[in-house]
Amino acid sequence: MTNYTTGNSVSRALRKKRTLISIVLFTLIIGFVLSESTGKAITLQVDGQIQQFTTNAHTVQEALDEIGVEVSAYDDVQPPLDTTLTAKMIIDVEKAKKIEISVNEEKRNVWTTENVVKNILAEANIDVAEDDKLSHSLHQQVGEDGKIDVEQAFEITIVDGRKVRQVAATSTTIANVLQEQGIQLGELDRIDYSLDEYVTPGQTIEIVRVKKVTDVMEDKVAFEIEMKNDDTLLKGRKKVLQRGKRGTLSRTYEVVLENGKEVSRTLAEEKVVSKPVNQIVAVGTKTAVSTTKSTVSKTAPITSVLHNNQVAKEPSAGRELTMTATAYTATCKGCIGITKTGINLLKNPHLKVIAVDPKVIPLGSDVWVEGYGYAVAGDTGGAIKGNIIDLFMPNVDDAYDWGRRTVRVKVLN
């Protein structure tokens, strides 16, 4: 009786323990099921579009896969894909866009989540210089077409007249380069290229500056000498009745300058400003009745010295020379009036005496000089060398009238 009672007690205890274990297991199963069915509340933002969902995923990647959101290596996902998912987590996905970048017309595509041009070019490792041309400002957002054009600058040389400068240019026309540099071409300026041509790296553009100017020049016009016979003057003597005066001639030229240098000159107009005045000279035709004896050197025959009274007809005989003839007077500065052969020209102003180079015409020789007449070689001079003679004149006016001439000379003895 006693053993039976004890057995029943043990059996009841075991039943209670099994019941307790079943209750605990049931509670755990219910909790797990409730937990799995409830999940984590997540907020997802894709390119600004927000949605909320509940998931039992363990990572961000699993959560996105669960709801069918595909991401590429270029997309920006925050937090990162391998991050452990937690309740109330916010997942931000920014999809990358395709951008077409053209550098000097060479195109390439890049995928980026950036919107600002500067950042996109930096991601693409494209350096932009100050003179490069862009389709957008660096701080501007790329347009809806997703295109960015870059024209990289290169160096060219512009020779503008005499000025040389190095400038940066992009692939554009010569006309645009000149406009960008503030260079204007004049109507006559010349350039060796068509303005519509495109510039190339290292090119030299040369501009020739052409200018037309007017140049007015005045030239003197020589006067003529008018000879008049005068029977009141002894033969061989001359007298200036009217001083000659040179005229003035104005010439207008059209001058073409290239880069400041004259390249052509054309006579456009010629006019007389003032006419020359002829010089009138009286030429003596009177024959002297008698002659005056002169004091001369024994080396100079009196007949030769007095040849001024003879008719100045060219002799048929004699050694002929072509010589340059100048004139002098006895009253010139530094003159003493006495010739090398001893003729006193101050006391005998009407004698015809010439200064010679004795190596060419011996002193004392009788000579005939074209335009001067018969004379004696009676003097020398420091500048009288070779085929040069100096003719004695009685006054300064006659000497000036003679000037410098080429004449024929005949040596008579």
306 with 368, same domain: the answer is: yes
Mean pLDDT by 10 residues, the chain (413 residues): 42 53 48 55 91 92 91 90 92 91 87 89 86 86 88 90 90 88 92 90 93 91 85 82 89 93 92 91 73 37 40 81 93 78 88 94 93 93 92 89 92 89
357 with 275, same domain: the answer is: no
138 with 112, same domain: the answer is: yes
Say which CATH number the domain at 115 has.
3.10.20
pLDDT at residue number 342: 87
pLDDT at residue number 284: 85
**Domain termination residue (choose one: 53, 77, 94):** 94
pLDDT at residue number 294: 37
**Domain termination residue (choose one: 282, 314, 330):** 282
The whole model's pTM is what?
A: 0.44
Say which CATH number the domain at 357 has.
2.40.40.10
293 with 407, same domain: the answer is: yes
234 with 197, same domain: the answer is: no
146 with 198, same domain: the answer is: no
pLDDT at residue number 208: 95
Q: How many domains does the chain have?
A: 6
Say which CATH number the domain at 237 has.
2.20.230.10
pLDDT at residue number 296: 38
306 with 359, same domain: the answer is: yes
305 with 370, same domain: the answer is: yes
299 with 407, same domain: the answer is: yes
Domain interval for residue 323? 289-411
| Dihedral of the alpha carbons of 307, 311, 316, 320, in degrees to the nearest 10 | 50
159 with 181, same domain: the answer is: yes
**Domain termination residue (choose one: 261, 282, 303):** 282
358 with 404, same domain: the answer is: yes
22 with 86, same domain: the answer is: no
Say which CATH number the domain at 64 has.
3.10.20.30
